[in-house]
Structure 1
């Protein structure tokens, strides 16, 4: 039985064993405030469990109450690190051109465990990553208005294209190769 299934079973057992008079009004009011804040944060964008926990504790809610609310949200699938990681990778790779290396670092910073990170990153294969890098390099190369006059200007243009790829975390060798190809294509198109 998984941890999630155990928690659901515990919750069902607690509900079955509930009798009138056991309701703790004060505890429920504390959870309601945390729940409102958590749902407000989740309404803005999906978040990892750790990220949401940190935000709620920063808002000076009691850690025990925060953990209870997060467990409740996870039990009803409003908080799911695997779904969060898959969507994060899909969007950031497609819209921002981020490499798998950078995406892995971002997910780690958000508290997503290594197995979940690896599973989410499987969406991107080497061909996808290279196609994204090529599109970014070609876009940057299009900003060159005239063919470089000498080697120094060529190197400067190449550094700019490689810089775009490096900032997004693409491997150095691949970045240099793709940048050279994009620059050569642009220069040939200008000539």
Structure 2
């Protein structure tokens, strides 16, 4: 059953309401509108971290105080969430780009994602996943070898190319060398069978 006292208070508030009475600061809303529009446009292109979005908006010469207010509103509505951003970033970049956890952590740090959100997102990548990704990258690089190396110098040159591909994706040196050597040896063996 409705509370008559509460209904009376609401009715009194409605009766007292006059447009422009201060419930909405139209000048402030007008100042926020272009910031909000740009922020939503940037988020429409792709997900972004809070710091990345803030940086883009401030660089576009919007007042930092207004930018922060818009970002707070976007975060409150769930449109801006660093934990979700980091999780999705790791999932996509690990699968599509063959990036190591170390490289992904550095990318997220560069985008202003906090340590706890980065760590939680990187938990998606197991050691087996990391090894499998490194192996895929090494095998792809090894497929560029068209003939078995004629001597040790040529072998080392091909190995450096494969290890370099792994290093550019952030895999540590010992893993890159071990997996690179395995991939090159498998490729050379396969080329020998074709002869």
TM-score if structure 1 supplies the norm length? 0.89
Taking the TM superposition and a 5 Å limit, the aligned residue runs for 1:20-59 are 20=18, 21-22=21-22, 23-59=24-60
- The residue number in structure 2 matching 1:92 is 93
Give the RMSD, CA atoms, in angstroms.
1.1
Deviation of 1:26 (Å): 1.2
Deviation of 1:25 (Å): 1.3
Equivalent-residue separation in structure 1 for 2:69 and 2:44 (angstroms): 19
User: Any stretches of 5+ residues in structure 1 without a counterpart?
Assistant: 1-15
Deviation of 1:53 (Å): 0.6
Equivalent-residue separation in structure 2 for 1:189 and 1:115 (angstroms): 45
Equivalent-residue separation in structure 2 for 1:54 and 1:26 (angstroms): 24
TM-score if structure 2 supplies the norm length? 0.87
- The residue number in structure 2 matching 1:143 is 144
Structure index of larger Rg: 2
- The residue number in structure 1 matching 2:173 is 172
Equivalent-residue separation in structure 2 for 1:161 and 1:171 (angstroms): 13
Q: How many residues align?
A: 174
Partner SS, residue 87 of structure 2: helix
Which deviations, in whole Å up to 9, do the C-alpha atoms of 1:109-158 show, x marking residues without a partner?
11111011000000001000000000110111111111000000000000
Which deviations, in whole Å up to 9, do the C-alpha atoms of 1:11-49 show, x marking residues without a partner?
xxxxx9xx6511211110111110000000000000000
Taking the TM superposition and a 5 Å limit, the aligned residue runs for 1:69-148 are 69-148=70-149
Equivalent-residue separation in structure 1 for 2:66 and 2:80 (angstroms): 16
Deviation of 1:67 (Å): 0.7
- The residue number in structure 2 matching 1:9 is none
- The residue number in structure 1 matching 2:65 is 64
Residue 184, structure 1, aligned to residue 185, structure 2: yes
Which runs of structure 1 show a deviation greater than 2 angstroms over 4 or more consecutive aligned residues?
none
